[in-house]
């Protein structure tokens, strides 16, 4: 399936506003579900009360709606169009360094600010480099009557005012992007913090880690997650948001971290917990406490010898970051195409939750 068809299908799948005539639209909650791929929280009463894993509505999030996502609603009608969705996809795909380069190129007077037209040019350039965004010219797609430029997304008014005459500072946009990624992280954490305790269980942290695993390996990793129930010293661990955020930061620094893991593994052959912790801290500047590392090694120590299967772990990290940059690209429809690899234990609905 082409990227063009896939992102259109993802939009159609999650969009819940379906008038008899006219354009299919998303609510802000739909947008959240499309970009925060999750499994059902392990402490959900619905699971304990006899529901099979997977018998949940696709992509259902157990957390409060985010007002942050309302910024992508261009005309304040409470609904998000396909072109606004593509604008959002483009934003998520922009590495900070790449945007900074483009920003400075269009900042002709070197003031650290750009105007609305210059911002649209920057976003058009970023969209051209994004596989999903580039293949949707002006937000148009087959079968829907959509018009107008993608670069007229709802954030334009937020950044430049109703009259469009304000100017956008580079630092303000960078901070906005950081806040956007943290908001998505908070939504994911809140989903697993089913009882609003401010922490999530070891099992839910592990579920979050393996959610982006390749379908060929997912069942085996989920079995390892289930085995946490039989390990009291791991089962009773709870992860704070700060610890959850630190692990997400490590994912963002995938390249230097994976290089450190593989380089050390080539020299020594094995990766111990202390090696892993040192790579995170000294190479990436990310502190990981022993509880987080214990859970990581439980899931990815496939032969139970106390060392990390670094190749599989790195593949999961890489895929997760790619999926964030290309929201749901490897999500629901790739899941559907591969569902024949899954056992009854993890039904299609479970994978879509």
Q: What is the pLDDT of residue 324?
A: 56
Structure tokens, 266:
């080539």
In angstroms, the CA 139 to CA 120 distance is 14
pTM, two decimal places: 0.77
pLDDT class for 287, splitting at 50, 70, 90? very high
Distance CA 198, CA 149 (A): 41
Q: State yes or no: pLDDT of 343 exceeds 80.
A: no
> pLDDT tens digit string along 131-190?
544 444 444 444 444 445 555 556 788 889 888 899 999 998 889 888 988 988 998 998
Backbone angles phi, psi at 113, to 5 degrees: -135, 155
User: String of b and e for 233-265 (b: at least 16 CB within 10 Å)?
Assistant: ebeebebbbebbebbbbbbbbbeebbebbeebb
Report which of 8, 38, 263, 48 is spatially closest to residue 136, judged by C-alpha positions: 8
The yes-or-no verdict on residue 306 having pLDDT over 80 is: no
Q: Are 240 and 221 in contact (CB under 8 A)?
A: no
Task: Find the helix packing angle between 82-93 and 28-35, rounded to 10°.
Answer: 40
Looking at residue 41, its pLDDT comes to 83
| pLDDT (0 to 100) of residue 347 | 36
Average predicted confidence (pLDDT) for the chain:
75
């Amino acid at each position: 399936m082409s990227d063009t068809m896939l992102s259109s299908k993802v939009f159609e799948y999650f969009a819940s506003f379906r008038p008899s005539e006219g354009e299919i639209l998303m609510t802000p909650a739909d947008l959240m579900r499309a970009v925060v791929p999750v499994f059902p929280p392990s402490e959900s009463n619905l699971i304990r009360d006899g529901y099979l894993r997977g018998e949940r509505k696709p992509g259902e999030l157990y957390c409060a709606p985010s007002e942050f996502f309302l910024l992508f609603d261009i005309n304040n009608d409470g609904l998000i169009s396909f072109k606004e969705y593509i604008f959002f996809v483009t934003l998520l795909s922009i590495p900070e360094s790449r945007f900074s380069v483009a920003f400075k190129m269009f900042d002709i007077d070197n003031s650290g600010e750009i105007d609305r037209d210059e911002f649209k040019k920057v976003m058009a350039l970023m969209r051209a480099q994004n596989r999903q965004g580039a293949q949707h010219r002006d937000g148009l797609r087959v079968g829907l009557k959509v018009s107008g430029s993608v670069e007229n997304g709802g954030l334009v008014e937020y950044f430049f005012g109703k009259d469009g005459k304000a100017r956008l500072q580079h630092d303000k946009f960078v901070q906005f992007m950081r806040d956007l990624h943290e908001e998505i992280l908070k939504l994911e954490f809140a989903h697993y913090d089913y009882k609003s305790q401010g922490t999530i269980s070891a099992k839910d942290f592990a579920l979050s880690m393996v959610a982006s695993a390749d379908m060929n390996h997912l069942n085996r990793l989920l079995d390892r997650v289930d085995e946490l129930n039989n390990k009291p010293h791991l089962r009773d661990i709870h992860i704070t948001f700060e610890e959850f955020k630190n692990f997400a930061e490590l994912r963002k620094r995938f390249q230097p971290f994976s290089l450190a893991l593989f380089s050390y593994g080539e020299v020594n052959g094995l990766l111990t917990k202390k090696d892993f912790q040192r790579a995170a801290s000294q190479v990436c500047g990310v502190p990981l406490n022993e509880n987080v590392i214990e859970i990581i090694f439980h899931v990815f120590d496939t032969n139970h010898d106390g060392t990390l299967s670094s190749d599989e772990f790195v593949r999961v990290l890489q895929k997760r970051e790619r999926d964030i940059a290309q929201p749901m690209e490897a999500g629901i429809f790739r899941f559907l195409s591969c569902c024949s690899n899954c056992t009854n234990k993890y039904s299609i609905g479970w994978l879509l939750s």
